[in-house]
Amino acid sequence: MADDVVSEVADAAETAKEFLSLDTLVAYGQTALPYVLKFLTAFVVVWIGFKIARWAGKVAKKSLLKAPNVDETLAQFLGSMVRYAIMTVVGVVAIGQVGVQTASLVALVGAAGLAIGLALQGTLSNIAAGVMLMLFRPYKLGDFVKLVGEEGVVTAMTIFTTELATVDNKHVIIGNGDVWGSTIQNYSSKGTRRVDNDFGIDYEDDINKAMDIVTKTAATHPKVHADPAPWVKVVGLGESSVDLQSRVWTDSDDYWDVMFDLNKAVKEAFDAGGITIPYPISVELDSK
């Protein structure tokens, strides 16, 4: 039995010696070398091709910006299409370098078209929606919009996504399919916006005096438009206050400044004019 074990060990050692021999390694290396070269070639093709695609996209965008009647939004969108088109071609060429027959690959993709379409329906819908957004142009770069519940300035738009920068500097990326399938609110397209501010005064105060204070305060703000003129009315009788609403018009870019400035300015004007902003009744009861 010991002799059998020794014999098996000797055979294993001989097999390992033959496998690790220089001639065997050279033979394996010669067999593997063509495949290694193919994969290296494919890698180089992809690396160079993607760089060319990125460069071509930028060149296309810059060239389109110089053309008449082409704005930055359309130029960026078409530039991204050029980039992705070149990347697709590069991918097919790289697959061909590995040894896969591209004709067979196309036939296979065609045969599996339904399955691929179902698997990529989200991506395909984003592309289709991107084209529709470019055709109808509900917003452009630099517009302040509300898309799928997110508010921000449009910073980029590709065939797949729309990117926003929110007021608190968050980077939001939304698929074009989601954008096209929801309500789009563009706060910049009209150039001007109406600012509504609500104020409550005590029932014992002079309503006309309070309305006059709000009107004059709004009219003196440098960013409030004189036409249409500031509008102030009683819009409700609350549990503890007479509710006034001020409506003024301003440039879209000045919306938030005007809203916050008027809140502060009217409060200070009420204090100076003896107008009281009452606490809610529930707060007074809780305090007692």
> Domain boundary residue among 186, 218, 242?
186
What integer pLDDT is reported at residue 271 of this predicted model? Answer: 94
Highest-pLDDT range among 48-62, 104-118, 119-133, 141-155: 141-155
27 — pLDDT class (breaks 50, 70, 90): low
Q: How far is CA 224 from CA 173, 191, 230, 243, 248, in A?
A: 34, 13, 8, 22, 7
Report the largest interatomic distance among the alpha carbons of the chain, rounded to a whole angstrom.
Answer: 118
7 and 34 belong to one structural domain: yes
Q: Residue 93: give its domain's CATH number.
A: 1.10.287.1260
pLDDT at residue 18 greater than cutoff 60: no
Instruction: Report DSSP letters for 42-107, one per residue.
Output: HHHHHHHHHHHHHHHHHHHHHHHHHSTT--HHHHHHHHHHHHHHHHHHHHHHHHHHHT--HHHHHH
177 and 221 belong to one structural domain: no
96 and 136 belong to one structural domain: no
pLDDT at residue 207 greater than cutoff 70: yes
51 — pLDDT class (breaks 50, 70, 90): confident
Write the pLDDT tens digit of every residue in 97-122. Answer: 666 665 655 665 555 555 545 555 66
| Count of structural domains, the chain | 3
277 and 225 belong to one structural domain: yes
pLDDT at residue 22 greater than cutoff 90: no
209 and 152 belong to one structural domain: no
Q: How far is CA 146 from CA 190, 192, 195, 203, 260, in A?
A: 15, 16, 17, 38, 20
Q: How many CB atoms lie within 10 A of CB 73?
A: 19
Across 38-52, 145-159, 232-246, least confident range: 38-52
Q: Residue 205: give its domain's CATH number.
A: 3.30.70.100
State mean pLDDT over 61-80: 74
- Full domain range(s) for residue 24: 2-111
> Domain boundary residue among 76, 111, 146?
111
State mean pLDDT over 63-86: 75
**pLDDT higher for 24 or 31?**
31
Does a structural domain hold residue 237? yes
Burial tier of 133 (Cβ tally within 10 Å: 0-12, 13-18, 19+): buried
pLDDT at residue 124 greater than cutoff 90: no
**pLDDT higher for 53 or 258?**
258
Write the pLDDT tens digit of every residue in 212-262. Answer: 999 999 999 999 999 999 999 999 998 889 999 999 999 998 999 999 999
106 and 15 belong to one structural domain: yes
Does a structural domain hold residue 116? no
Does a structural domain hold residue 76? yes
180 and 218 belong to one structural domain: no
> Domain boundary residue among 186, 206, 234?
186
14 and 101 belong to one structural domain: yes
Average pLDDT along the chain? 81
Say which residue the tokens 């993709």 belong to.
109
77 and 141 belong to one structural domain: no
